[in-house]
Amino acid sequence: MKKRNFLLITILIILTAPISAYVGPGAGFAFAGSFLFIFIAFFLAIFNFLTFPIRAFVQYLKRIKTLKNAKFKRTVIIGFDGMDYNRLNMFMKEGEKFPNFEKLMEEGTFAPLQSTEPPISPVAWSSFSTGVNPGKHNIFDFLATDRNTYMPKMSGSDIIPPKKNLKIGKYTIPLSKAKVELMRKSKSFWKIVSSKGIFSSVLRIPYSFPPEKFYGLMLSGLGTPDLRGTQGSFSFYSSEKKTDTGITEGVIQEVTEVSDGIFNAVLKGPGHPFIKGSPSLEEKFSITLDKEKNGAKIKIGRDEFFIEKGKITEWKKVNFKVGLIKIAGIAQFFLEETTPLKLYISPINIDPGSPSMSVSHPKIFSVYLSKLIGGYATLGMAEDTWALNERVLSEDGFIQQVYSYQKEREKMFWDTFKKFKRGLLVQVYEETDRIQHMFWRYLSDSGSPAEKLSKEDHIVNAIKRSYKRMDDFLGRLMPKLGKNDLLMIVSDHGFNKVNRDFHLNSWLHKEGYLVLNDGKTSSDKFYKDVDWSKSKAYGQGLHGIFVNMKGRERFGIVSPGKEAEDLKEEIKQKLKDLKDIEKGDVVAKGVYKREELYKGPYTKNAPDVVIGYNLGYRVSPESAVNYIGDTIVSDNTRMWSGDHSFTRAFVPGIFFCNKKIKTKHPSIMDISPTILSAFGIKKPSFIDGNDLEVVA
């Protein structure tokens, strides 16, 4: 019987090859393809090929018509994620020189850029992309809530599993296509521009996964998962015991020496696509220490390579097999110590040269880039901040990682720019955000209780160096722009210190809104011990509180209407009055009912109450994964010491332009309509932002 099942599965695998696949946030790996789907796709490809000349001619006619009204020949938008208006000004007041930023200040425009509420990347970049408030684009936090299970889920994309499956014992074979749906709604400016025949290149914009189809090129950014279906799961191997906090999705393994200087280990990959429960696929590898060369030899699969202690490697291929199917990934290795052994392996990124799912539009674009520059990070948040938090990656190793990714992204930009004759080019760089998150504690005015491990200049002054590195990039870009080119530089928000953690779900429990099962005084992550039949509200994500509403949540107990509105107002007032007993400061500077912030058809999906934290306060990582305990406010002693999860007045972003603008107070929602105006395109009525009126 087992042989017969195995034979049938093998035949099905062969019949459905070549097979495309997807990886979704937290969902593991699933094959998407039936014979019928592949048959249809084949003929669609032929149809597209045959009709290409006609479609190209139509685009040409649209382009000619649009360019008659265009104010500029080329429009370039550069995003420096998290660059802070106040900090840049402070550096300059201290005498630091930023010649290219300063040139833009003198000849063009420099202003603070108002972010969204809350001022966090998913929300702000989505408003940047669409020109609308979150009530119209449907992104309110990093996490959304599943009303049926109360579990957090990624806000940017949703997984639609195959509708048809064949079950044979413990095996499940998908017979229809699985999909990943982009949850960011409304219409991006690049889709509007490209619909007018203007070619657009869009690189690493957050919350652009899965990539949209339009007349242009796209490489997805923040929100793109790793090969395991998570938002970044490192692996760490040590010959000494290391405690796993349970907060990270990283894999921490203790390894034993099997012979002199040789260790055997297992690298966990994506979930098995055909077995119930999706147990992790695994790849065995060995580590052989070479103390004379101060490094180690790694043998994994058919590959063998040497890694030098303290130096992060280039991308190495890591493949996992299911029958005849190869699931391709890439990873970086970092040997922290040889005695005791400490080996870090980055999250396994989707291999852009052999993508198991599309991370670009068209799909071949990621392959082209890999042929051009070699392996590169495809994970949305590839810089492994949590590995540094967990002390499995050193500060120096983290900076090496950040700089290597910045180098990759600049190579992509320059190759695209070289071919850029007319139209739109947009790219977001993340270095400034990641460096500020992890090294804010070294700033003299941080007041951070977190440990400062180094006295090395490149670590102590990492933030200042990062700002200078972005200035240097502009120094290479600006001379290549002509008088008829528009350049805008933006950040989604600014940055500041985060020295105290607010345990939101613990506070809700203390106040009686979140009730535990009888006899329980605390709850493990994901609300393990919550009694939903008695709970009125729960926290989800970084800024949100949801009412446990009848008819909406699975076990809702609060009636819609007056009861729910009274509860929201009560929670709002209590939070506004809440003080940190130890420090004497209020925890929240602004607390809002969702209707006070958002307008639009998706407002119903927003948290019922949105918290704008006081400067220095942030929701705790424990609360973000739904732990409940006794502590309400505590010191933040993590390496993650800078943040922007405050009310937006504390963290203005930056706006630079090589031209003057007429608007005095730009907002991140204004970028989209300003880009449309640059091409002479009338602003659609659904857009909330305003044209900044660039003086051509």
pLDDT, tens only, 473-506 = 999 999 999 999 999 999 999 999 999 999 999 9
> What's the whole-number average pLDDT of the chain?
90
Q: Are 340 and 240 in contact (CB under 8 A)?
A: yes
User: Tell me, what amino acid is at 596?
Assistant: E
Checking if the pLDDT of 6 tops 50, the result is no
Q: Supply the pLDDT for residue 29.
A: 40
Q: Using the predicted structure, report yes or no on whether residue 166 has a pLDDT greater than 90.
A: no
pLDDT in tens, 19-46: 222 223 333 343 333 344 444 545 555 6
Pinpoint the alpha helices (H) of 16-120: 35-67, 85-93, 99-107
Q: How far is C-alpha 690 from the chain's CA centre? A: 27
What band does 199 get if pLDDT is binned at 50, 70 and 90?
very high
Residue with structure tokens 């291929």? Answer: 317
Going by pLDDT thresholds of 50, 70 and 90, the confidence category of residue 163 is confident
CA distance linking residue 463 with residue 469, whole number of Å: 10
For CATH 3.30.1360, the residue range(s) in the chain are 504-631
Q: Pull the structure tokens for residue 116.
A: 């969204």
341-399 pLDDT per residue, tens: 999 999 999 999 999 889 999 999 999 999 999 999 999 999 999 999 999 999 999 99
Residue 20: what pLDDT?
A: 27
pLDDT above 70: percentage of residues in the chain: 90
Which of 163-167, 273-277, 321-325, 348-352 tops mean pLDDT?
A: 348-352
CB-neighbour burial class of residue 576 (10 A; exposed 0-12, middle 13-18, buried 19+): middle
Which residues neighbour 54 within 8 Å (Cβ) at sequence distance 6 or greater? Answer: none
In this structure, whether the domain defined by 504-631 belongs to CATH 3.30.1360 is answered with yes
User: What is the Cα–Cα distance from 557 to 564, expressed in whole angstroms?
Assistant: 10
Q: CB under 8 Å to 266, separation ≥6 — which residues?
A: 253, 282, 283, 284, 285
Q: Please provide the size of the chain in residues.
A: 696
pLDDT in tens, 453-477: 999 999 999 999 999 999 999 999 9
Q: What is the pTM of this model?
A: 0.90
Residue 543 token pair:
């800024």
- Cis amide prior to 340 (ω within 30 degrees): yes
Exposure b/e, 157-174, CB count within 10 A at least 16 = b:
bbbeebeeeeeeeebbbb
The model's confidence at residue 55, banded by pLDDT at 50, 70 and 90, is: low
The confidence score (pLDDT) of residue 46 equals 65
The pLDDT of residue 9 is above 80:
no
According to the model, what pLDDT value does residue 243 have? Answer: 72
Task: Reply yes or no on whether the pLDDT at 16 is more than 70.
Answer: no
State which of 265-279, 291-305, 527-541 shows the largest mean pLDDT: 527-541
**Local structure of residue 440 (DSSP, 8 states):** G
In this predicted structure, the answer to whether residue 202 has a pLDDT above a threshold of 70 is yes
Q: Which residue has the tokens 């003198």?
A: 106
Q: List own/partner pairs for 569-573 with CB under 8 A and 24 or more apart.
A: 569/593, 571/513, 571/537, 571/545, 571/609, 572/609
Q: What is the pLDDT confidence band of residue 628, given thresholds at 50, 70 and 90?
A: very high
> Which pair of tokens denotes residue 625?
């994964």
Report strand pairing: 295-300 vs 303-308.
Answer: antiparallel
Whole-number percent of the chain with pLDDT over 90: 80
Spatial distance between the Cα atoms of 359 and 224, rounded to a whole number of angstroms: 7
Task: Say which DSSP state 516 is in.
Answer: B
pLDDT for residue 159? 79
3-state class of 639 per DSSP? coil
pLDDT at 344: 97
pLDDT in tens, 544-558: 999 999 999 999 999
DSSP 29: E
* Phi, psi angles (nearest 5°) of residue 192: -65, -45
* Crossing angle (nearest 10°) for helices 121-130 and 671-678: 30
| pLDDT tier for residue 58 given thresholds of 50, 70 and 90 | low
pLDDT for the residue numbered 174? 78
